[in-house]
Structure 1
């Protein structure tokens, strides 16, 4: 009977989703066919222009083709995104482009992690080194927007605008009461005092151990945040902390008085200043090209066939092939094997941005990293996250580089097995009975009953074993003892800056510096940088769109920033197997 309900609901849902999917695939095909027969032209960069950077779009680790992007349909015109890889390369190209004279930052908010944000900020700082100007303006600054804008030569604020500056906070979403209300009991088995990924299922607030680690890594991130602003605005770091603690910037005038901004200007006044910098008449439009439309790429001057491959691994780690925005154990392993066997690829940079996931898939990937390292250099570059399973797949590399604000470590594992007995029996009035040939035949299969103590002991043994293997992988890769790894493990999350001191990370460096280090280790002086996985052509991308991707886009479009809570609740109730991950719904604002 339980299977009957499951399959009926799955069939109905499948029919609805398939219909929606086919509708959008048809639209995508028509759009592609029309665009393929229409004359195309590259966006031309005007002379004496400014590069407009707004960041009011989704920022991913790597740009992925979206067949629905730019469709002229109500509700879907905003589906634009860009990868950090293209943001950085385009800023670098603009630095070298004689047509681009400066950058105009018009950022109100930034929806991305601190490591990604710092990478963009550092790229703009490098742009300034060319002697070109950077001007920032906003009608209102969030803290992240101001952090990014503080790198500019001048920062301006609307006379009636606001600058939110009050220090950083972090929150974690807890589901215990919600799960109790629907009758779902999350049975947790874990290793690691600080393994807080399980807390949202069984608690309504942070444990003391979790609060300790959050205070620690949040303080480390805040140090970088404050020091970068202090350097950019030529202010004292302690003074900045005091301004935040006292919420001293209540009105626009306070921001000027405290030297957070240079002046209060209306939009027409900031445009007049940009015209003055460009030396153009006040009646003429400012030649502008947006970061999204700017397609130039930096010149490398490298003509050799030798390559340094940058392999992107971002998203949750899952068994099998995975999909866009996930790290499939089979897919990434196959990519590593292909790069290992490619004689033109002399070194590999594995760019990891992952909160972890399946412990089994992590070990599958670890093996391929270990094998590849024996053939050619492998350097890991960490993004916003490279924790738990994300650290597992990094541990075997020759060297590990991170951003100061990267969240990493979290060496620990857990298993979560939901029991739906209360939901079925008490909420729905549905009961089940079973016949089995062995004592454990239905263990971890039918979730209509809680585990017995003996079954919990068996699964806990598997969790303990995975943790021991995890620690051994780290100990071997980082040349530590298992005891040392355990002392800094236990599921504890560290920032990149802290991880360097603990020897979990070799040094703080950008992705570009990781590429140079990989080339140096491979003894290359003349080489090309190639990104993997290769981008699909538009038609292949259309046919490869899954119903999950379509559902995700629809949910994102309708719910906006609240979509993440729905997705997290779904993940909580559907994940299975032993997990090596952190609670990636960590909010820092």
Structure 2
């Protein structure tokens, strides 16, 4: 008995000690988190300095309040990241900062879409217009990284490094055979010859229409890509095409031979070249500040007229949504607030979305139309503003896109899974039910196929929503409905192609849209304010969902397959009729 009590006492004591250690660690963690959130001191920038820019981190549309960013977690490395908005504003600030003499650009893997990549490149070109230098060096240049580096005055790479230049490609993962083996049938009701969002679930390869549209907009992007590299390196575009088509650059010697780089050198040799530019002795360190840490002095004056920039990025969902997507109710509420705020004289809606719920898209489009009656509202499109993303844009006074923006995709679909084969044949599960009406289980029952009558009902609703979509576009763009239908049918266009077809008003970035909104409001002096207001970092931490944490922790292990898993989960969770781009296009 005595030994029993000894064992129990030891167990209880051990448990108390473990909990005490966990509590101490947790208190320390929270204290450090709160401390890091409260420290907003300006980073010291020495004179005669270079700005270090790598961009080898996640680049969201907008920098979020991240309480984890000052930490290094085992296996996950540095958590710091910077949104596109701050990347652009900090490069612009460095252009005017007399302490910054140039940029040391060291990109490898730039995790951002082609339109956002273009915005960053344009910011670097603008930086050079001040007379300051940009020197690029990397061990490995992916195509996106080299696209940025091509603006530099001098480009160097590791003698044993590699440089990719082989043309753009885009792939789609098809899951029909896998679903067949699981006994799951995806039942599709859609409008639009090119509306290929459903294809990965019902085919094993691209349809001819989808291959046609993907080829067209990839070639449009590639044309701009080559033109920009040609301007940066003074190499004719035909020569660039030949180099890519024949895969002539395979190592540093090839890159030097074809004038893609200015020299082969290790990092210490590049640092020596930077010291020579800055007139610094070899034995001294280079004064430098990272773009991640560099911050400009914020103007805290909130008086006077405002141009409001309202961010709308992620999938469009019904209700409030959560961070990283567009809740129809939440964004509509933000638009109403801005419409009623007398200090706000114009609104810019920054859209970066592949679409989503057709209902939520229509709710937002209504608020955009109401806002236009009160004050100017323009749209700035990011990497995506397609399907539902275009729906919420079409009622604005004017729309600006980058040449590489993917937009259009005017079409809708419904996707209803039939899991009868999985439940009955694979798992031995059978479902029986009673109902008070013939269609009581329509769109809710997944254990049987749709009847022909049910398909007809859903198809009629899809057709109605498509008619509403095209009518809204016709109204917003001053076009005939038939003309909208001819360029609709779910087809995706680049910004350049969309401009030719009247779907957008101009090619330009967020600044261009802001200037257009201010001009329409007849403003000469104004403050730019950003909405929605960012959450308090600690509240954001407490509000992080278990699902988001799980996907984040698995991100490194899943790698490039994470996007396909998230795509499948998004589609399966979606309810109602969808206005969504075919899939997330990853350009390599």
Query: TM-score w.r.t. structure 1 length?
Result: 0.93
User: Which residue does the alignment assign to 1:375?
Assistant: 374
Matched, 1:148 2:157: no
Matches within 5 A, 1:501-580: 501-580=500-579
Report the Cα distance in structure 2 between the residues aligned to 1:191 and 1:72, rounded to whole angstroms. 48
Q: How many residues align?
A: 566
User: Which residue does the alignment assign to 1:43?
Assistant: 43
**C-alpha RMSD of matched pairs (Å):** 1.9
Matches within 5 A, 1:152-171: 152-171=152-171
Report the Cα distance in structure 2 between the residues aligned to 1:379 and 1:99, rounded to whole angstroms. 36
Report the Cα distance in structure 1 between the residues aligned to 2:491 and 2:345, rounded to whole angstroms. 35
Deviation digits for residues 376-433 of structure 1, max 9, x if unmatched? 0000000000000000000000000000000000000000001111111011000011
Task: Tell me by how many angstroms 1:341 deviates.
Answer: 0.5
Matches within 5 A, 1:380-391: 380-391=379-390
User: Which residue does the alignment assign to 1:473?
Assistant: 472
Deviation digits for residues 58-107 of structure 1, max 9, x if unmatched? 00001111222233432344332211000000001111111111011101
Corresponding residue SS for 1:50: strand
User: Which residue does the alignment assign to 2:266?
Assistant: 266
User: Which residue does the alignment assign to 2:33?
Assistant: 32
CA contact (8 A) 1:354 1:387 kept: yes
Corresponding residue SS for 1:171: coil
The change in CA–CA distance for 1:72 and 1:59 in structure 2 (over 3 A counts) is closer
Report the Cα distance in structure 2 between the residues aligned to 1:177 and 1:412, rounded to whole angstroms. 26
Task: Tell me by how many angstroms 1:534 deviates.
Answer: 1.0
Matches within 5 A, 1:285-364: 285-297=285-297, 305-364=304-363
Matches within 5 A, 1:193-208: 193-208=193-208
User: Which residue does the alignment assign to 2:16?
Assistant: none
CA contact (8 A) 2:350 2:382 kept: yes
Matched, 1:107 2:107: yes
Report the Cα distance in structure 2 between the residues aligned to 1:145 and 1:73, rounded to whole angstroms. 26
Corresponding residue SS for 1:121: helix
Task: Tell me by how many angstroms 1:120 deviates.
Answer: 0.2
The change in CA–CA distance for 1:298 and 1:247 in structure 2 (over 3 A counts) is farther
Corresponding residue SS for 2:369: helix
User: Which residue does the alignment assign to 2:417?
Assistant: 418
Corresponding residue SS for 2:47: coil
* Ranges in structure 2 where 5+ consecutive residues have no aligned partner: 1-22
Deviation digits for residues 273-313 of structure 1, max 9, x if unmatched? 1011111011111111111111115779x885111001000
Report the Cα distance in structure 2 between the residues aligned to 1:71 and 1:299, rounded to whole angstroms. 29
Deviation digits for residues 124-161 of structure 1, max 9, x if unmatched? 00000111000111111111110111011111111111
CA contact (8 A) 2:37 2:537 kept: no
The change in CA–CA distance for 1:159 and 1:531 in structure 2 (over 3 A counts) is same
The change in CA–CA distance for 1:266 and 1:316 in structure 2 (over 3 A counts) is same
Report the Cα distance in structure 1 between the residues aligned to 2:32 and 2:421, rounded to whole angstroms. 49
Corresponding residue SS for 2:548: helix
Corresponding residue SS for 2:78: coil
Report the Cα distance in structure 2 between the residues aligned to 1:427 and 1:31, rounded to whole angstroms. 51
Task: Tell me by how many angstroms 1:576 deviates.
Answer: 2.1
Corresponding residue SS for 2:286: coil
Report the Cα distance in structure 2 between the residues aligned to 1:337 and 1:457, rounded to whole angstroms. 37
Matches within 5 A, 1:399-478: 399-478=398-477
Report the Cα distance in structure 2 between the residues aligned to 1:515 and 1:292, rounded to whole angstroms. 25
Report the Cα distance in structure 1 between the residues aligned to 2:493 and 2:156, rounded to whole angstroms. 35
Corresponding residue SS for 1:81: coil
Task: Tell me by how many angstroms 1:235 deviates.
Answer: 1.3
Query: TM-score w.r.t. structure 2 length?
Result: 0.93
Corresponding residue SS for 1:204: coil
User: Which residue does the alignment assign to 2:91?
Assistant: 91
User: Which residue does the alignment assign to 1:495?
Assistant: 494
User: Which residue does the alignment assign to 1:11?
Assistant: none
Report the Cα distance in structure 2 between the residues aligned to 1:116 and 1:585, rounded to whole angstroms. 15
CA contact (8 A) 1:69 1:76 kept: no
User: Which residue does the alignment assign to 1:7?
Assistant: none
Report the Cα distance in structure 1 between the residues aligned to 2:222 and 2:379, rounded to whole angstroms. 24
User: Which residue does the alignment assign to 2:248?
Assistant: 248
User: Which residue does the alignment assign to 1:216?
Assistant: 216
Task: Tell me by how many angstroms 1:572 deviates.
Answer: 3.2
The change in CA–CA distance for 1:579 and 1:59 in structure 2 (over 3 A counts) is same
Task: Tell me by how many angstroms 1:585 deviates.
Answer: 2.5
The change in CA–CA distance for 1:40 and 1:519 in structure 2 (over 3 A counts) is closer
CA contact (8 A) 2:37 2:67 kept: no
Task: Tell me by how many angstroms 1:254 deviates.
Answer: 1.6
Report the Cα distance in structure 2 between the residues aligned to 1:513 and 1:348, rounded to whole angstroms. 13
CA contact (8 A) 2:36 2:70 kept: no
CA contact (8 A) 1:28 1:67 kept: no
CA contact (8 A) 2:49 2:99 kept: yes
Corresponding residue SS for 1:104: strand
Report the Cα distance in structure 2 between the residues aligned to 1:123 and 1:456, rounded to whole angstroms. 51
Report the Cα distance in structure 1 between the residues aligned to 2:431 and 2:337, rounded to whole angstroms. 49
* Ranges in structure 1 where 5+ consecutive residues have no aligned partner: 1-21
